Structure 1
Amino acid sequence: MALLPDLADAFRDLVLGVACVACGHPGRALCRSCHAGLPASAAAHWPTPTPPGLVPPYAVGDYDGALRSMVLAHKERRVLALASPLGELLARSVTQALAELAVSGPVVLVPVPSRPRVVRQRGHDPTAATVRAAVARLRAEHDVVSARLLRVRPGLQDQAGLDAAARAANLAGSMAVPATSLRRLARGRPRAHVVVCDDVLTTGSTLREAQRALEASGLSVAAGATVAATRRRAPAAGRTPTFGPSLPPSPPTD
């Protein structure tokens, strides 16, 4: 006789040590209840200050709670089963971007690259895996593929602990599109719209650098898409909010 769902989950936790990363319920990396409670839609989330020229960046919610637990467990603890629900969330960000920006035709999702040393240490590339899972969700309604077009230069510092200005300086000129990757894309999808994808939007510097490198190679970048976005500290009274589905702050006039 088949085990009841709760007993089956308890059995998997006992044998495999699996538990929900959000609530600790045994049996699944993300339990049914927490999965059902994930954000159902996405919106544009502009960082403040916004890097000049940044394409609209989309996310499903704050980098907090279940979203933060999922991203960290997938990235740092190799809970590989989370690639699918994270891909589902990323797909919602991409869908919202394509709808709001009226993008039609072929679309290419380009993951932000990780440093090769970091990928070796982790034993996997979490962003690339999440993007592949998003493509699997999107293919029913869009002509979409993923392509790892970007490479990072050696010597890039870890971004953790850097403020917005330091992140921008660290990332400046750090990414490029190899000619072989560009030729391969041109043969298959010469007029594709590009959406740059990452797990978390913080200051926008990483997305902006990826956008710069892709546009420098002649590609059209439509938007950025992430799973979550960090909530920045509230500004002084009367200033533009630091987080939320709002327009970016006006650029300086000087």
Structure 2
Amino acid sequence: MLDEALDLFLGSRCVGCDLPGRMLCPTCRAALSGTAQVAWPTPVPEGLATPWVVEAYDGAVRALVVGHKDRGQWGHRRVLGDLLARAVHGAAADLDPRVPLLLVPVPSRPGAGRRRGYEATAALTHVAAARVRRHRPAVVAPLLVSRGAADQAGLDAGGRAANMAGSMRCPSPSLARLGRRLRHAHVVVCDDVLTTGSTAREAQRALEAVGLPPVAVAAVAATRRRGPAVPPDR
């Protein structure tokens, strides 16, 4: 009855199977993965921290990410945040559970957050942190700001790396707000999609520059261009 009412009054349909009703029907939601896995991009950016994801970036997951980021479908943050939390759990599985996790969202390009009315990746990271805190201490720290980079659509791995180089920084006021205890936390870079790894690597570089080296990268999904389970130079 709920699905019929949503279809009647809102015209909404499931992004996975196009069934009238909720934007993600129970069947499609149940089909989402619950297992985090390492997903190295190909080629691997030099020095990239181990990247953990839960899903492939296609089908319903792609529709959820695009809807949340580009179409103002704010409600998708709960499902996507749950998936990101699973990736964070995978990244932190071998870490001391008494040490807090510092979840640092990748920043939007300048003006993007204002145009959509919210910071998309930060929103997912806050949902993920709430889930993670059921099992271990976790704090969201939006430490990074973007100096601006061109749209990456159509760029190959080398082009994306060149485009992102030097595009992020960690301002001193943001760093000063970190408590002394959190300076010793395990830092995890959080994003929605891992493509070539250039964005995550740039976020990692900016954090390393202020003495906060990330232990891992966590993302909802990765494009299907994946390399071996362990990069060849490690």
Pairwise same-fold verdict (TM > 0.5): yes
Between the aligned partners of 1:15 and 1:47, the Cα distance in structure 2 is: 43
Between the aligned partners of 1:93 and 1:243, the Cα distance in structure 2 is: 18
Give the corresponding residue for 1:76. 70
Shift of 1:19: 2.0
Shift of 1:34: 0.8
Assess if the C-alpha contact under 8 Å between 2:183 and 2:212 holds in 1.
no
Q: Which runs of 4+ in 1 moved over 6 A?
A: none
Greater C-alpha Rg: 1
Give the corresponding residue for 2:100. 106
Give the corresponding residue for 1:57. 51
Between the aligned partners of 1:173 and 1:53, the Cα distance in structure 2 is: 16
Between the aligned partners of 1:124 and 1:17, the Cα distance in structure 2 is: 25
Give the corresponding residue for 1:87. 81
Q: Among 224, 230, 243, which residue is 2:217 paired with? A: 224
Identity %: 54
Between the aligned partners of 1:182 and 1:123, the Cα distance in structure 2 is: 25
Assess if the C-alpha contact under 8 Å between 2:101 and 2:186 holds in 1.
yes
Q: Tell me, which stretches of 5 or more residues in structure 2 are unaligned?
A: none
TM-score by length of 2: 0.95
Q: Tell me, which stretches of 5 or more residues in structure 1 are unaligned?
A: 1-6, 233-241
Between the aligned partners of 1:23 and 1:221, the Cα distance in structure 2 is: 37
Aligned residues: 233
RMSD, aligned α-carbons:
1.5
Give the corresponding residue for 1:3. none
Q: Among 34, 42, 46, which residue is 2:28 paired with? A: 34
Between the aligned partners of 1:177 and 1:186, the Cα distance in structure 2 is: 15
Between the aligned partners of 2:19 and 2:8, the Cα distance in structure 1 is: 12
Matched, 1:165 2:148: no
User: For 1:80-135, what per-residue CA distance to the aligned partner results, in whole angstroms no more than 9, with x for missing partners?
Assistant: 11100100000010001101x43441111111000132222323221111111101
User: Bigger CA drift: 211-220 or 18-27?
Assistant: 18-27
TM-score by length of 1: 0.87
